[in-house]
Structure 1
């Protein structure tokens, strides 16, 4: 069987089984919410004030990293049912980047092969603005069930005991931006920053203390990886987000076609986040 034919068989099997999976896993859902505009800044008085931790950058599929995060939290007795938000490096043009037809291997499509994500990306949401003041938009899917392994393991069925429910944040980076000396021009940078803030706010507003992020826009959308990594780091370290996340992991595949993993590893791995914020005076 050709690689394409194999991926087609996997995708068809995933889609066919989603209703039964969601019937069996009652906390799973096809529900989602389209976020049409930037969310308000986080309220410091509601901050959980998680202790400082260090960002981890791993060479991994995002759902595999999420499953590893949940397993590790449970083994350390830190959090028996860790709530994890996974960033979907999304298309803003069509659901799953057209996964059901293209059957490609981009990060968004990889998530669709392994889970119940696809039906939460409702056609009525698409397309949305990719650039401009209204481009901080996306989809929040609160209860996606991961029931298959990643593409590196041929999307083999996971044992029932290893199925996991995560939330997925679907936000698209600027698409093929015009760059100046390999960096975003000022307005595109402004829009990118708002998209990154939206990702972090979506996780925090929905009570997701663990985040699995990625090299946002650094694949098919051709965003500059060094600048994206720098911005994702700088914004995460802003006072607004201090204390909101127990653990942050960046899942970035190492490939022969780009150096995204090495860049994100160098800029983000081991960076300390978190810590208490000052109490709000009454």
Structure 2
């Protein structure tokens, strides 16, 4: 069995393309912190926000070519094994890991993901749906891989002090800003997000929802995105759906 954080080996069901099978693919890039004032982007007039009980690939299929999907990953990096959640759906049914692996030098494949930022992969091919069935119409979508904050099982910091909701929300806000800045930097205006951190990472649903609301309500992202969809499925689906619905109900952006 694979150990925690180990690079995945062997075939994944359903079978995926190997990197050599598509040499013309655009390369993924590792992204760190972005200076929010270091670039100028064209702004749109308004942002439509939707919260849906649906997996991320089903939502992405209906999006425009200017969309970007958040892959909610692990700190071990995009080539580590992902057994749960929507990240497992992405890894099993798309060429995301192939695109990233093709873009990495061998010595970089064991590097952890950036704490703020992540990996941007353009034109990822979606060949299967969330159930592993061949897609009637395969499509491509850009993706951004990042990992959320984690609620310690003891609910204490390493120094023994209690983890407050304010601390956790502040860290999530920093991480959300990192994701949105990188998506914006790459010219993406339609986003497929989700209940980031609310699964096995243990972030309370209302904290994740509030972090996205705080970031998206800031002047930095005013008019930056045309449509944002939170695709909610899997573990704690009902709780997460209600939390995000409550957070964005009637929110003008």
Aligned to 1:50: 44
Counterpart secondary structure, 1:107: helix
Question: For the aligned residues, what is the CA RMSD?
Answer: 2.9
Matched residue SS, 1:211:
strand
Deviations 1:176-234 (A, max 9, x none): 34379985353x44332221101101111000010000111110111111011011011
TM score, norm. by length of structure 2:
0.80
Residues 54 and 270, structure 1, Cα contact 8 Å, conserved in 2: no
How far 1:97 sits from its partner (Å)? 4.5
Question: Where does residue 238 of structure 1 map in the other structure?
Answer: 218
Give the number of aligned pairs.
234
Q: Distance in 1 between matches of 2:173 and 2:141?
A: 25
Identify unmatched segments of 5+ residues in structure 2: 1-9
Q: 1:183/1:62 Cα in 2 relative to 1: closer, same or farther (>3 Å)?
A: farther
Cα deviation, residue 135, structure 1: 2.1
- Residue of structure 2 equivalent to 1:119: 98
CA shift for structure 1 position 257:
7.1
Deviation at 1:163, TM superposition (A): 1.9
In 2, the alpha carbon distance for the partners of 1:193 and 1:69 equals: 25
Distance across 2 between alignment mates of 1:13 and 1:210: 28
Alpha-carbon distance change, 270 to 211 in structure 1, aligned in 2, over 3 angstroms: farther
* Greater fraction of residues in helix: 1
Match of 1:218 among 198, 208, 233: 198
The TM-score with structure 1 as length reference comes to 0.72
Equivalent position to 1:136, from 113, 116, 140: 116
Unmatched tracts of structure 1, length 5 or more = 1-8, 71-81, 274-282
Is 1:170 aligned with 2:135?
A: no
Change (3 A) 1:169 1:42: farther
How far has the Cα of 1:272 moved from its partner? 3.0
Which structure's residues are more often strand, by fraction? Answer: 2
Bigger shift: 56-65 or 11-20? 11-20
- Aligned partner of 1:157 in structure 2 is 134
**1:254–1:260 CA contact under 8 A, matched in 2:** no
| 8 A contact 1:97–1:108 mirrored in 2 | no
Shift of 1:17: 6.3
